[in-house]
Chain A
Amino acid sequence: MKREYVMGNGAIALGALAAGVNVVSGYPGTPSSEIIETISKYPQPGLHLEWSVNEKAAMEVAASAAYAGARTLVTMKQVGLNVASDPLMSLAYVGVKGGMVIVSADDPGPISSQTEQDTRMFAQFCRIPVFDPSSPEEAYRMIQDAFVYSEKYSTPVLFRPTTRICHAYASISVPEQFPVHAYEGFVKDSKRWVIFPRLSFANHAMIEKRNPRIGEDFSAYAPNHFTGTGTKAIFASGVSYAYAKEYLKKYPDVRLCQIATPYPFPEQLALACLEGVEEVICIEELSPYIETQLQQLIGAHRLPVKVCGKLTGHVAPSGENSADSVARILSDFLGTAPADAGPDLSDMPALPQRPPVLCAGCPHRASFYAVKKAMQGKKSYFCGDIGCYTLGNAMPLDMVDTCLCMGAGITMAQGLHWTDPDAACFAFVGDSTFFASGMTGVVNALYNEADMTLCVLDNSTTAMTGHQPHPGTGRNMMGNIVDKISIESTLAGMGVKKILTVDPLDLSAAVAAVQECAALPGVKAIIFKSPCIAISKPTGKMQISEKCIQCKKCIREIGCPALITIDGKVQIDESLCTGCGLCSQVCPVSAIQ
């Protein structure tokens, strides 16, 4: 064994490798992306690893491999599970042969997501088990157990860490060499692998009979456990359990129960924990899941126990918990001393805000600016999408009117067109998002005769989540160089007649391309092609000459973080400037070179 100091996502990856995982697929999404990246650093014989084109594809690749008996891992963030929910709902009925673990990382806060959805609720909806680790160390052990339970009950299982588990670091002991899980291969059996209403009916009955048995099994699963005594009990799951333990360091005798497998709920364990208890508080994030489970259990058994939590206002209904918030909740609940709150900071001076902005030299800034200039004074709608370029909404660009979910910008531009045919409707989509879920939207526009201009912001990477490769980059996670899938040919193949490819950093050419496309009816596409500054070499630094008249147009128009004022004078911050030259094309007196 050797010790490794790893991020929670690394611990999940190493746990899957220790379980002999054979096929791993997923789509990047904070806070889950580092799982697949870690696995890529440990190439194993016979292990297939891929960034799939989206979460649905990842789920299906892993599902059929698990039909063949392989151990499979699928990774995504919680909103990715929505994309993959179509195969998952059906797969829950069909089941698997090899262990299949679906990691769906939840993001309470939310810190970098669109929703505060709860994968535990999804597990209950799908009727499949879910594991909920409370630390990186536990995640390492628990994901190995997840494969075992998946095979024991021939069902896919969910595994849901949250951001604070995914991004926390800890030391774990891993084997020098990972085992290889041997499997039989696909055995044809259409009664088992082909879903029909009759199979669904039979399997639904089987699942409802099976799940209480899993709940019993889980009641004896070691991470589900309670300690302490008394008439008050605390139920917690995930990182909230760790926060509760942090506060209870001074009160080790208080009854504390960890729910490590929220569904099927370990009822027998919960009932044992509730013995002699008069009042319970549920410390959890996102949905009041444990709270409603306990309410049902207490109601069914007519127990004289009061349940507190989110539904009773004792725990915040939204946002993430913290060691501080849990300490406050528990000191109120237990009547114990509040935790040390630190220095009194009520007289704190106003702090400067540091909102996220597009990086200095980011080509997206130039693309947005070109469209803005080209459409100045014309009625236009700008539908954005998910990626770094969502930041195009910030001042002074202000170029994102809508943002909903992956790929939605393309179809939403169409909806706006049908409500306002006189307006020019634009959709902005990144290259990775285009492949993930943009293509069907383009077909929809062509087929239904919408007028819209598609702007593909092609920076040759999946930048926001940490520069993962995608079908357009020409390399995959097996380390192979593959044919690049051309966005231009893809669009041409669908039937888009007008496709222009421009360098957004050539402002006048980019503006001309937008004007040309905007004037035409039908579906037009502009591919703004320029690599992300984080994966390309800077071309030099811009300099401001004495010709500068301090009009500050550059700052007001493009808002690049490398354009700063010192003592009221415009300067270039050389530590940030990449020499993209956009500011020099904006300057009215050619003072920036």
Chain B
Amino acid sequence: MNKDILICGVGGQGTVLASKLIASAATACGETVHSAETIGMAQRGGSVTSHVRIGEDAFSPLIPSGSADLILAFEPAEVVRNLRYLKTDGLVLVSSVPVKPTTESLNDTGYDGTEMLTYLQSKCRCLIIDARSLCAPFGSTRYFNVAILGAAVGAGALGLAAEAVLQEIQKKVPAKFVDNNIAAFRAGMQIGGANGIK
């Protein structure tokens, strides 16, 4: 399998766990995996990306522009920021919930994400997910990182079986959060499988 997956969001949203789960699930399936994270100053409320590259002939640690098969986006503006990475026929799964920049309260720009989602729909195949209602049963949008993996599996876009990801959730998530994470993953699968992709 050759697959490039970009994960993007804002520091603190749990993008790193999502990338680790994909990488370890694919490795367990015998695939060669490379990944790269943005680390350092950018983490503090800044834009973050994880690049996961599955397959033998991925040389660059970061995905080249126009090569990502799939973008998993945790925030509307962040996916637009990273849209150049998407392949012509690539797919985007994105949370509709905007994260206002930490400086927004100082200089109000009125950012609410809607302009980004409209733009996104005009550019590519995408599935917009209301992370708030999806995660409501679990009490925190922090479960979105696992729910979006479920959506990708449900849409058949991750190239991995649900079981492969679920096994890694059991291994990598602290015991007391495993049940909620599995439930979030399954809820995501349903949304991804409901064929709402435009």
What residues make up the interface of A, taking CB atoms closer than 8 Å to B? 3, 5, 30-31, 111-112, 135, 164-165, 167-171, 239, 242-243, 245-246, 249, 322-324, 327, 339-343, 345, 347-349, 351-359, 391, 395-396, 464, 555-556, 559, 561, 563-565
Determine whether the beta carbon of B39 is less than 8 Å from that of A30: yes
Tell me the total A-B contact number using a CB cutoff of 8 A: 157
Choose among B42, B64, B124 the residue with the greatest number of A CB atoms under 10 Å from its CB.
Answer: B64
Determine whether the beta carbon of B103 is less than 8 Å from that of A353: yes
Interface: B100 (CB within 8 A): yes
The docked-state distance in angstroms from the alpha carbon of A246 to that of B4 is: 13
Query: A5-B33, A169-B36, A354-B10 are known contacts. Are A555 and B105 too (CB-CB below 8 A)?
Result: yes
Inter-chain contacts of A164 with B (CB < 8 A): 36, 61-62
Interface: B171 (CB within 8 A): no
Interface: B14 (CB within 8 A): no
In the A-B complex, list the 7 residue pairs whose CB atoms are closest, starting with the nearest.
A342-B66, A168-B61, A340-B66, A561-B102, A323-B64, A323-B60, A245-B59
Number of residues of chain B lying within 8 A (CB) of chain A: 54
Choose among A5, A165, A358, A559 the residue with the greatest number of B CB atoms under 10 Å from its CB.
Answer: A5
Determine whether the beta carbon of A343 is less than 8 Å from that of B83: yes
Interface residues of B in 115-140 (CB under 8 A from A): 115-116, 119, 123-124
> Which residue from chain B places its CB closest to the CB of A3 in the assembled complex?
B27
From A171, A249, A340, B57 is in contact (CB under 8 Å) with A249
Determine whether the beta carbon of B115 is less than 8 Å from that of A342: no
The docked-state distance in angstroms from the alpha carbon of A359 to that of B104 is: 15
Interface: B184 (CB within 8 A): no
Determine whether the beta carbon of A564 is less than 8 Å from that of B105: yes
Shortest distance from the beta carbon of A384 to any chain B beta carbon, whole Å: 15
Chain A proximity mask over B83-111: 1 for CB below 8 Å, otherwise 0: 11111100000000000111111101101
Determine whether the beta carbon of A242 is less than 8 Å from that of B61: yes
Inter-chain contacts of A239 with B (CB < 8 A): 60-61
Determine whether the beta carbon of A348 is less than 8 Å from that of B39: no
Determine whether the beta carbon of A357 is less than 8 Å from that of B44: yes
From A170, A342, A564, B65 is in contact (CB under 8 Å) with A342
The docked-state distance in angstroms from the alpha carbon of A391 to that of B86 is: 33
The docked-state distance in angstroms from the alpha carbon of A31 to that of B36 is: 13
From A347, A348, A352, A395, B104 is in contact (CB under 8 Å) with A352
Choose among A30, A171, A327, A356 the residue with the greatest number of B CB atoms under 10 Å from its CB.
Answer: A356
> Which residue from chain A places its CB closest to the CB of B84 in the assembled complex?
A342
The docked-state distance in angstroms from the alpha carbon of A112 to that of B42 is: 9
Determine whether the beta carbon of A170 is less than 8 Å from that of B34: yes
Determine whether the beta carbon of A349 is less than 8 Å from that of B59: no
Query: A323-B60, A340-B67 are known contacts. Are A352 and B102 too (CB-CB below 8 A)?
Result: no
Inter-chain contacts of A345 with B (CB < 8 A): 80, 83-84, 123
Determine whether the beta carbon of B35 is less than 8 Å from that of A168: yes
The docked-state distance in angstroms from the alpha carbon of A111 to that of B46 is: 13
> Which residue from chain B places its CB closest to the CB of A358 in the assembled complex?
B44
Interface residues of B in 6-54 (CB under 8 A from A): 10, 23-24, 27, 32-42, 44-47
Inter-chain contacts of B84 with A (CB < 8 A): 341-343, 345
Determine whether the beta carbon of A169 is less than 8 Å from that of B23: yes
Interface: B81 (CB within 8 A): yes
Interface: B77 (CB within 8 A): yes
Determine whether the beta carbon of A396 is less than 8 Å from that of B106: yes
Determine whether the beta carbon of B27 is less than 8 Å from that of A354: no
Query: A357-B102, A359-B44, A564-B100 are known contacts. Are A349 and B116 too (CB-CB below 8 A)?
Result: yes
